[in-house]
Each structure stands twice: as structure tokens, then as C-alpha cells.
Structure 1
Amino acid sequence: MLPTVLYYKNNKALISLLNTIKSKVSLSRSREELDVVISELKSFPGGYQLKTKVYWAIFTGLLLATTVFGYWDWSQRQYFQQSTWIIIAIGGLLTVLAGITAYYPHHLMSKVSHALLQRDGLLDNNLTLVSFNGKATAQQFQQRFSEFNRGNYSREIKELFKGSYQGDEYSFDYHYYHFHYVDERIVTETYTDSNGRVRTRTRREYDHYDRYGLILPFGLLRNFVVIGFNLPGAGKATYKPASNRFNRVFKVIAASQIEAAKAMKPTVVVAFEELSNVLSKINFEVNDAADLCLSFADKDLIATPNKVNISEFDAFIEALEGEQEFEKLRATLSHVHYVMTKLDSNF
């Protein structure tokens, strides 16, 4: 965060307000708390437009001056003198500072705008933040679902929200999570040393991955998996329905072919085919406690669809006061509900 002393008049007051709102938004847990933050934004006495042309003009002037004086000093002897390096160092430092000063207010406003819209969207969709320990929660989930047996180096839950769904036949609470895991691998490479001898050396490389999903009590099946993405230790398919389209994307693993056939009715098969058009790399895993983990690679289920900025104040407030809908989340929850309604109750 840059000190506001670098700014003047309305810019200074607006940047101070944005920093305050940024902190309060991250702490808000209810509609009432967020409304207090929005009221503070509405009551700001100044304008919501940042005026940074002068900062960009200073940045451009410093960049040109550093280039011109640096080149002129170098041209005196056709090599870099101490004075040349001093001009480049001082001019470069001032240029970078001017560039950051010009860029930071707009970056801050964009960040705060997104944070407000995102928190508003979460509340509109009845999602609340859950307090958790990232690594401990990942370990707990790993004990319940094969989905979390990923990452030979580290596993961590990055986000966790609690929500509720009200359907025509079934209602349920669920958790939405963001799971991050890291694989460590040893890479061996061959090189030639300074004496011309061929040698080998090894180094460790780390690959980072992210998965997202919903966890909820399912109750209608046990030890049943529809796999659309590699699932550690899943084994071979138990049952294949008649649909070639389904079989190209998924495989089904159950305790027996009979249970798999009872669950994978034609209507359920079609539902999974349609879900594959909404989500990517899907796994539908029901454990022995009849809890469901529906996992996928999509990171935008709870992303606000609005891109409006605070500087467009009337449109921004209109977006906050309207109802945001997370369409992909709704479609995913509807799929779960639909599958529930189609399953027999005698599993």
C-alpha cells in the first residue's frame, strides 16, 4: 500500500476510503455488515473518479529524461561511466516510483470493486465463509474421499463456504471448497562441465494444481463413483451404460453391477452427459457414509459475473442492490437434486 501523502485532494481521500473498505469487506460475514460498508461508500463526500493524468505525465517525463540524459552521458566517451550509471539508477528509481504511483489507485479501485461485488454475490447465493485450517481440513477430507489423495508434496484447502439448497423434493446443506495440491518430482539432466566431461545432476520441481467441488450428505448411495477425471485408487469400471457419449467421458464404479445399473438409469446418464457441458473433469464420489463429493476443475462457480467499477458509481450501486446469480453453481446443484429425485430409495 502506497502512502497517501503521494496523492492530493480527492485522490487522497478516495484512496484512504478504498483501503478502509477493503479491510471491512474481508471481515464482513452478513448482509447487515456488508450494507454498513456500502453505506460508507455511498456517503463519501467527494467524487468517485480517480484523476491520475498528472502522475502518468510525470512518469513519461522521467522516463524520457532518464533515457536522454543517460544516452547523452554515455555518448561523451562511448561507454558507461560512473555518472551514466548514477543517472540510470536515480532516474530509473524515480520513474518506477512515478509509474507505481500512477497505477496503484486504479489497481486498488478495481480490487475493492471486485471484492464488494464478490461478497455481495456470495450473500445473494446464501454462501457464508467457514473458519478452517487449510492443511488440517484437507487431511480430514482425504480421510473421507479419494478425491483428496492427490499431491505427493502438499495438500491444502484454500477456500471453504457453506451454503444451502432448496429443491422441490430435496433440500440440503453443502460446502463449496477450493483444493490446492502440489506434486514434487525429481528431474535428472545431463550437462557438460568446463573440462568437457559429461555429467548428470538432479533438481526438484513442483507442479501446482487446483480442484474445486461440493460436499454434502447424499444418503441414497454408498461407495459409488462416476469418474470423469483421474481418481487415485479408483480401479476398473464396474458398469457401462449403453450411451457411447457417456462412456467416452465417464466410467462407473460401484459395489456391484446390479447397484450400478439401478443407479445409472437412462435419465441419470443423460443428466451426467449434460453436466459435462457445464463442468470439466468431473468426479461424482459417494463414500461409505453416503456423503457426496462432486469435484471439478472449474474455478468460476462462485465468481461474480459483474465487471462494473466503483468509478461507474450509479451502475456499481445498481449491481450491488440487484440479485446476482451464480449460474454454474445453480446448474450444478440442480444436477445433484435431479439425480437424487431419480434414484431408487432402496440402496
Structure 2
Amino acid sequence: MAEHKSNNQKVNALLAAVRTQVANAQTETDLIKAIEDVKAFGAPIKFNHLINYIIAAVLGCLSVLGFLYLYQNGKHANNLVTFATALLVMFSIGTLTLIYSKNKKIRTLEDYIFNRDLQLDNRLTPVAVSAEQHARELGFRFHEFNRGNYSREIRALYQASYQGKEYSFDYHFYHFHYVDKRTTMHTNSKGQWRTKTVYDHYDRYGLYLPFHFISNLALISKSISGVSGYNYKPASIQFNKIYKVIAESEIAAAKFLKPTVVLACEQIAQSFREVNFEFNEETELCMSFRDDDVLTLERKHGFDRPDEFIQEIKGVQILPKLQIALEHIHTLMTYSDNNFRKDNP
């Protein structure tokens, strides 16, 4: 028993040390060193759950006996047995949950290393911000962040640069979480009306960056409040099915939405769900969407095969959906009329 406990303590200590290494990692070499430390542990990285499995099995058997007693005695069952059976079920589930959570710690750390490598490969630098304050600041710049009548927060933020054939730009990638609060009415078992408060949680993602070609224009496929101006419809029926265009002037919208831009916006809507483009007064662009897989890829290896995991980390893995978004923004820049420029290069 002492040996099993010692093994679990060693695994916990190793995972904590490796997590700290990964959190401080600045290069791919740092990540590889963390995996090599796991490999040097000299034994499979797993928790010993023998005692917990025995406890869960015993509790499960006692729970079954309790249910059999309740089934046979029905209304005449002893209340104490009923209460004890409920407790046994709860403790049994709790023990299994403990086993699952410990095993998940290993998978979570593997994912953490892999995702940190993706950030390094794609030159994404995490930015530490106050979640609610930064959402509030972005809400002053873009209507996109005025969603949620209860709470709003930026759960993740990264900064990076893109180098295209004709244009280069710095950008931020964000994860925006917001909550809507609403009240519903329902009847209880006695037919009495009662109110219930419901909190609906939503997530959107996107990029924001300088865009010195046009201002005060929005292409909206997921409705947002506060955007005002002239409605504009290009000739494309497909485009008009996807987007609602609101602009400072119809002339500006027509000059920006050339046929090549219209076609590009139709195509990007096939890659991203509920995609919006908001060009604010300060000539900044916010491209937002619902997709939560832009900064993720499927991990193929883990600590159980450390050499293969190291080779996977050594490879350069480009995030395809992020590249699609960046290339689309570059396309918008390429086909924008230079008359829209607000700066003096």
C-alpha cells in the first residue's frame, strides 16, 4: 500500500514539474526537454488505482444489494436503508470520478505540451490580460464584443504577425466568452407558476488588426447590435444570403465590395461558421466566427510513446484554418482600393 502511494506521489510530482517547465517554455527545445524528463522517469506514467477500484467495486456491490432490498420491500422499505443506498451510490460515483480526474491530468498535460508547440510553430505569443476588462475595452472598439447581457470576458488572447506576398500585418487572436441571462416561466407539480433564471453561455473567436483601407462597414452573418448606417446589397444572390452589409455610405460599400471581394467572402463563409467582418471608425478590422478549432490539431502521440511524441513536437505544424483566415484578410487588403487608405505610408 505504501509503495502504491509512493508511486502516485512521484507521478504527481513529475506532472507538476513538467507543467511548470511547459509554462515557462520559450522554444521547442524546452518542450522536448520536458518530454525527455518524463521518459527518464523509468516507468509508465500512470496512477495506481487498485485501492480505488476495490473501493468502487465494494460500494457498487453494496449499492446493488440496497437496490434489491428497496425493490423487494417497496413502500415498506426502511428509510435508513434508502438513505444508506443513496450514499453508497454517491460515494461509488465519487470514487470513479476521482480515478477519471487523475487519469485526465496526464492527458491534459500531453495536450498542453502539444498546444504550446502549435503556438510556437505558428509564432503565437500568449498575452496576459484582465478577462473582463479587456472584453470591455474591445467593446468600445467593436460592436462584436457587446454581446451578452450578463457577462463578457476574453478567455484567451494571442498576438502574432503575418507576412503575405504584398502586405504584412500584426494581429491578435482571441477567445470571447459571453453569457445571456433570461427568465423563464414554468408550472410546478401543483400547477403554480414559477420563474426560473437561465444563463446561456456562448463562445466566439476571431482576429482583430489594423486595416487602413476602409472604415465604418460591417459584413454580418451573425447579428450584432449597435451597427448603424446604410444597407447595401451587391449583385450576388449567394452573398446576400450569407451577409447583411451596413456601411457609412453606399458608395464606400460598392467600392470595397468588388466582385473578387464578394467571391472571397462567399468562399470564407464555407470555412467559418457565423463569420462577421467589422471595420470600425479607427480603421481596424475584427473578423469573428463561431469555430473553436482554429488553434487546434489532433495530437497523435503522448507520454506512452515518448520518442514518437518528441518527433511529433519537432515537426512544424501549421494551423490550416488560421492560415485560411489570414490569407482571406490579405486578399481583402490586396483587392481594396488605395483611395480608402487612412494613413500616409
TM-score tier after normalising by the smaller chain length: 0.7 to 0.9
How far has the Cα of 1:116 moved from its partner?
Answer: 1.0
Cα separation, 1, equivalents of 2:105 and 2:223: 40
What is the TM-score of this pair, normalised by structure 1? 0.85
Write the distance in 1 (CA, Å) between the matches of 2:3 and 2:81.
28
Residues of 1 paired with 2:84 and 2:56: CA distance?
Answer: 16
Contact 2:208-2:284 within 8 A present in 1 as well: yes
Q: Distance in 2 between matches of 1:70 and 1:202?
A: 35
Question: How big is the shift at 1:115?
Answer: 1.1
1:172 is aligned to 169
Residue 142 of structure 1 and its aligned partner are, at CA, apart by 0.7
2:96 equivalent in structure 1: 99
Closer, same or farther in 2 for the Cα pair 1:83/1:189, shift >3 Å? closer
Change (3 A) 1:88 1:264: same
Residue 313 (structure 1) shift: 2.7
Q: What is the count of residue pairs matched by the alignment?
A: 340
> Quick check: 1:159 aligned with 2:150?
no
Q: Closer, same or farther in 2 for the Cα pair 1:85/1:204, shift >3 Å?
A: closer
* One-letter code aligned to 2:299: N
C-alpha deviation, 1:164, in angstroms: 1.1
Quote the offset at 1:336 in angstroms.
0.3
Q: Which residue number in structure 1 is paired with residue 206 of structure 2?
A: 213
> Per-residue displacement from partner, 1:94-145 (whole Å, max 9, x unpaired)?
6446524543442121111111111111111111110100111011101111
Overall identity of the aligned pairs, in % = 36
Question: Aligned to 1:269, which of 262, 265, 286?
Answer: 262
Q: Find out whether 1:346 has 2:339 as its counterpart.
A: yes
Gaps of 5+ in 2: 341-345
Rate the CA distance shift 1:202–1:85 in 2: closer, same or farther, 3 A: closer
1:29–1:129 Cα contact (<8 Å) kept: no
CA contact under 8 A between 1:74 and 1:81: conserved in structure 2?
no
Query: Structure 1 residues 103 and 199, CA, compared in 2 at 3 Å: closer, same or farther?
Result: closer
Distance 2:175 2:322 in 1: 14
CA offsets 1:186-212 (integer angstroms, 9 cap, x no match): 33445685xxxx764434322221111
**Counterpart for residue 185 of structure 1:** 182
SS at match of 1:140: helix
CA separation of 1:43/1:199 partners in 2, compared to 1, >3 Å: closer, same or farther?
A: closer
**Aligned mates of 1:295, 1:70 — CA distance in 2:** 52
Aligned to 2:343: none
Paired letter, 1:160: L
Q: In structure 2, what residue type is equivalent to 1:113?
A: E
Q: State the Cα deviation string for residues 46-70 of structure 1 (Å, max 9, x = none).
A: 2346665775466335422553477
**Amino acid paired to 1:174:** Y
Q: Is the 8 A contact 2:46 2:103 kept in 1?
A: no
1:74-95 superposed Cα distances (whole Å, 9 cap, x missing partner) = 9799954477468647755764
Unaligned runs of 5+ in 1: none
Q: Deviations over 1:291-333 (max 9, x none)?
A: 1100111111111332533223333222212122211011101
Tell me if structure 1 keeps the 8 A contact 2:27–2:120.
Answer: yes
Q: Distance in 2 between matches of 1:112 and 1:27?
A: 14
Change (3 A) 1:78 1:149: closer
| Separation (CA, whole Å) in 1 of partners of 2:278 and 2:2 | 55
TM-score by length of 2: 0.85
Q: Which residue of 2 aligns with 1:284?
A: 277
In the alignment, which residue of structure 1 is the partner of 2:139?
A: 142
- Alignment RMSD (CA, Å): 3.2
Write the distance in 1 (CA, Å) between the matches of 2:72 and 2:187: 44
Q: CA deviation at 1:26?
A: 3.8
Distance across 1 between alignment mates of 2:17 and 2:194: 51
Pick aligned residue for 1:314 from 302, 307, 311: 307
Change in CA separation of 1:49 and 1:288 when aligned onto 2, cut-off 3 Å: same
Question: Is residue 128 of structure 1 aligned with residue 128 of structure 2?
Answer: no
Matched, 1:25 2:18: no
